[in-house]
Each structure stands twice: as structure tokens, then as C-alpha cells.
Amino acid sequence: MVGILALVVLDVLLERFGFGDNNIVNLSIKVLPIVLLILHGALVLGRRRLVYFVLFAFGVGVLFEIIGIKSGVFFGEYYYDKLAGARMYDVPLIVGAYWSVFIYTGYTIVTSFLVWTNKKKPSISERSSLVLIPFLVVLDGLVVTAIDLFMDPLRVLNGSWVWVNGGDYFGVPVSNFVGWFVVVIIVTGVFRLYEYFRPLHRDTGNSGVYIIPLIGYLGIIISFTSSAFAHNLPDLALIGIAAMLPITVTNVILYINWQIEGGLSNNH
């Protein structure tokens, strides 16, 4: 996730100055966040659990996309237009990869709230209650769905995908966001339960790495805000900022407090 801030801002600038159709540029911008996910995830989760997470998020995301495109269920009626690359039943595989990126980002941001308050993930070895897991999973869903509240109308404008019947939210059906929330909570719900019964007995070496996905999240806010104003959509910018910025600000405040209290010496 290191460098996502620069990548998303670069994406907007390149598109603004007419380089958005360059295949090499597009490929680089699309692939690098996936590489960064692998590097960060291997450090935080370990290689085996990262593979579990990525494959499961990819599989669930693509499955829901296939059902959605074929039936209009979950998200609404839509099809992918300008997204290039290999496809599975009309779903670009890069979409599955980005389900993994977005869900991992949300999962780590929510987990960082535990880190900054010096709490451990719920686990059977700590005899902690399962009650906290649904709360974390709902937060996962909200953090990730907030991204799509900002992203989807912008991607429709650049032709990445098309909503057949439009929708009440800047041309996007509200059912789409319900679908996003459902996909996220399925993935993180299953994974957090797995972590509960099979807790990871290792240390990342520096719990401060949990701040890195938040930098990416902030980069998304900056990128999408710029793009929204470029498309003369100040209302979308305000909604997106209202949905995503409180998460960022709260996390930063807790992180600073954690640092002040000597959080770097605490193991998660």
C-alpha cells in the first residue's frame, strides 16, 4: 500500500493532461496497487493468510459480479465497457483484483483502530468474546462502501461501466452500494472468524505499518475530490468527503495519541 497516495493522484493528473488512454500508463497504475497490497499484506498477515484473504476476496467479488451482470441481482443492471484485460463471464479480472485491494484496505483500517487503542483482535486464545466481530465487520463494510460512494459515479462518467437504467444517486442505483456492503461483510466476516479460531501468533515488527493503508485512503479522497470538481460535481465531492474523511481524521487522532503514549513499544 506504500505509494498509493502518489498513484491515485498521478492517475487523476495523467487523465487530466490527456495520458489516460496510454496502455502502459494505465497498466502501471492498475498493477502497482496490487503489488503494494501483496507487500503490505505479507508483512501484516503473513504470506499464507494473505493468499487466503486475496483469493477469497477475489472469488467472492467476481462471483457476485458475474451474478450481478447476468441477472441484475445484488448491484443492479450494468455492464463493463472500457475496462480492458481478460474477462470471466464478461467480468474483467482486474475488477476481482481491486475487490481484494479495497477490502484489504478497509479491513486493515478498521483493524488499526484496535491497534491504536492497544487492543488485540478477538481470538479464542485470548478468551475474547465473539461479540466484537460483527461490530468490526460492519465497520469494514462501511469503510469500503464509502469508497464506492465516491468512485462509482466518476467511473461511470469515464465509461468504465454503464448502468442500464441509471439510478437516483448520480446515475447509480442505491442497490449497488447495498451489494458492495454485502460483499465486504461476507469476506471480512469469514476472515475475522477464521482469525478468531486460528489467531496469528506473530508480530509484524512494527505495528505502525497499519497507518499505511490510511495514507492510501486519504489519497483516494484527494484523487476523487479533484476528479469530482473537474466534472463539475461539487455535491459528489461533499458527499464523498463526508463519508470518508471522518474515518481518516478519527484514525489519525488515535494514531497520534498512540504514538504519544509510546504505542511503538506495544505489540499487536
- Interval 142-200: pLDDT, tens: 999 999 999 999 999 988 899 998 899 999 999 999 999 999 999 999 999 999 998 87
pLDDT at 5: 43
Q: In whole angstroms, how far apart are CA 89 and each of 53, 159, 207, 234, 243?
A: 23, 19, 40, 36, 33
Query: Residue 213 has which C-alpha cell?
Result: 493503508
pLDDT at 127: 74
Kind of pairing between the strands at 161-163 and 91-92: unpaired
Euclidean distance between CA atoms 174 and 7, whole angstroms: 29
DSSP strands (E only) in 107-152:
none
On average, the pLDDT of the chain sits at: 84
In the chain, the amino acid numbered 126 is E
DSSP strands (E only) in 52-211:
78-80, 87-88, 91-92, 161-163
pLDDT at 18: 42
The answer to whether 180 and 148 have CB atoms below 8 angstroms apart is yes
Name the stretches of the chain with pLDDT < 50.
1-25, 27-28, 263-264, 267-268
Euclidean distance between CA atoms 223 and 7, whole angstroms: 9
Q: In whole angstroms, how far apart are CA 220 and each of 9, 118, 217, 224, 262?
A: 8, 27, 5, 6, 29
The answer to whether 8 and 227 have CB atoms below 8 angstroms apart is no
Euclidean distance between CA atoms 34 and 94, whole angstroms: 10
Euclidean distance between CA atoms 137 and 140, whole angstroms: 5
pLDDT at 158: 85
pLDDT at 191: 96
Q: Which residues contact 74 (CB under 8 A, 6 or more apart)?
A: 64, 67, 68, 175, 178, 179, 182, 183
Tell me the domain boundaries of the chain: 4-263
